Structure 1
Amino acid sequence: MNPAVRAESLINELCISSANEIDVEVIAFDSGIEILYERLYGCEATLVGFGSKAIATISPSSSRGRERFSIAHEIGHWLMHRGKSFRCRVDDIVQNYEANIQLEKEADLFASHLLMPTCLFQPAIKAANRPGLRDLQEIANQFDVSLQAVSIRLALLDSLPVIVACYNKAGLKWSLKSPHIPKRWWLCQKLDEDSFAYDLLYSGKLCPRLAKQPAETWFENDDADQYEILEQCMVSTKDHVLVLLYLNDPEMFNVGFDPNVGKSRFSVKTSW
């Protein structure tokens, strides 16, 4: 079963109807997992099971949202990948997203939907209309998760034309587009000096709200100078900024394949 569907089904089975009812320790116990908190080295969480019981060890964090994501991640492993033991490298979706390990990504997807089920998350996003990062932080507080996890969940929800990305001075660390955004729009690998994110990273200048930017500030495409987008950014972790981009020009969805950008694995057919 798809990890998202499996997590949402569990929420329905438990008759959870509000964000404050998502008690991951209780869900873990109900699934046969004992949760231990202990400082770990070389990983952020482990899972060892035998028969119908398992022990998940979680490295303590100052962020309760990170601990909750770790627990939800290990519940996902136990319910979907039983029979294996895991030493999970990180306790937050944003770092695992950089990895190319299928089982870790599946556990991340499960955790995201367990902590932010569509039936509760979608109304929260809809109520915020076109949420900026401050709106998303309020939603993160409501669901007791990290801002990064909420931002990625927003993109995967695919209800708004949004791109989430993380940059440091070396360049792009990771990015995620809402699935309906054409793949032809290719993010710059380095921050443009005219971007708000550049100002924040290099000068500490805050970006309090979504604001217009020429699309050429963010995309490598030759025709990007014909469009405008909305940008907001916020410090993520030390020396990293989290960027939220909205493609608010409908014409950006109607232009054709751009053969001059992107990776060769994308053909004309798959780049739409």
Structure 2
Amino acid sequence: MASRAENMAADLLAQHDMDGAPVDVKCLAKLCGIVVVPQAFNDGDVSGMLLREDGRPPVIGVNTRHADVRQRFTIAHEIGHWALHPGREVIFDRPMRINRRDSVSAMATDREEIQANAFAAALLMPERLVRDGVRQLPLRTARDPEAAAAKLAERFGVSQIAMSFRLVNLGLAS
């Protein structure tokens, strides 16, 4: 049974007629009214953040010091926060809501981080497309979990580790 995060990711892809891989997360963010700002963060531990301020479009900041596949996952993760969570209010000179992705949140010990990671995985690696991709692999590649993850990761524009987790979570690898 699909989770709320997975269902919301699938709905968002369907709503914007995105049914192929790799998913263009920057385009999807734009279609959702979210501004993506690539930036080399001084803190290399921070992958990205989502900033929401009433009356302004949401902004996703993504660390350009990280690999492209990580940046894509971070953008998808922050879209997940946008879709699923209100964010924690922080007061600068006016109230704002922020979600941050760093090495602690990447460990997914917080419920919201787990949901945002599930959303990102479902957004970047939709179940139907992953299952189709596995069926299309040569039998020799499909039987080798590392080779299958590597080949599919390339097709979906994600890291091999992210694809390995997705294959395991979908019951397609052990």
Task: State the TM-score bracket (shorter-chain normalisation).
Answer: 0.7 to 0.9
Specify which structure has the higher proportion of helix. Answer: 2
Tell me the amino acid that sits aligned with residue 49 of structure 1.
Answer: R
Q: CA RMSD in A?
A: 2.0
- The Cα of 1:50 is off from its aligned counterpart by 2.0
Task: Compare relative contact order (CA 8 Å, sep 6+) and give the higher one, 1 or 2.
Answer: 2
The 5 A counterparts of 1:81-96 are 81-84=85-88, 85-90=98-103, 96=106
Task: Tell me if 1:70 matches 2:74.
Answer: yes
Task: Tell me if 1:48 matches 2:57.
Answer: no
After superposition, give the CA deviation of every residue in 1:113-138 in whole Å (9 maximum; x if it has no partner). Answer: 00000121111122334343122111
After superposition, give the CA deviation of every residue in 1:166-187 in whole Å (9 maximum; x if it has no partner). Answer: xxxxxxxxxxxxxxxxxxxxxx
Instruction: Work out the number of aligned pairs and report it.
Output: 156
- The Cα of 1:36 is off from its aligned counterpart by 0.8
Q: In the aligned structure 1, how far is the partner of 2:25 from the partner of 2:35?
A: 11
Tell me the amino acid that sits aligned with residue 112 of structure 2.
Answer: L
Q: In the aligned structure 2, how far is the partner of 1:120 from the partner of 1:61?
A: 29
Residues 125 and 131 in structure 1, CA contact (< 8 A), matched pair in contact too: no
Task: Tell me if 1:35 matches 2:36.
Answer: yes
Q: In the aligned structure 2, how far is the partner of 1:48 from the partner of 1:148?
A: 28
- The Cα of 1:149 is off from its aligned counterpart by 0.3
Change (3 A) 1:29 1:90: farther
Change (3 A) 1:39 1:137: same
Of all paired residues, the percent bearing the same amino acid is 28
After TM superposition, the runs of 4+ consecutive aligned structure 1 residues lying more than 4 A away are: none
Residue 124 of structure 1: which of 115, 124, 133 is its match?
133
Specify which structure has the higher proportion of strand. Answer: 1
Instruction: Give TM-score, length-normalised by structure 1.
Output: 0.53
Residues 81 and 87 in structure 2, CA contact (< 8 A), matched pair in contact too: no
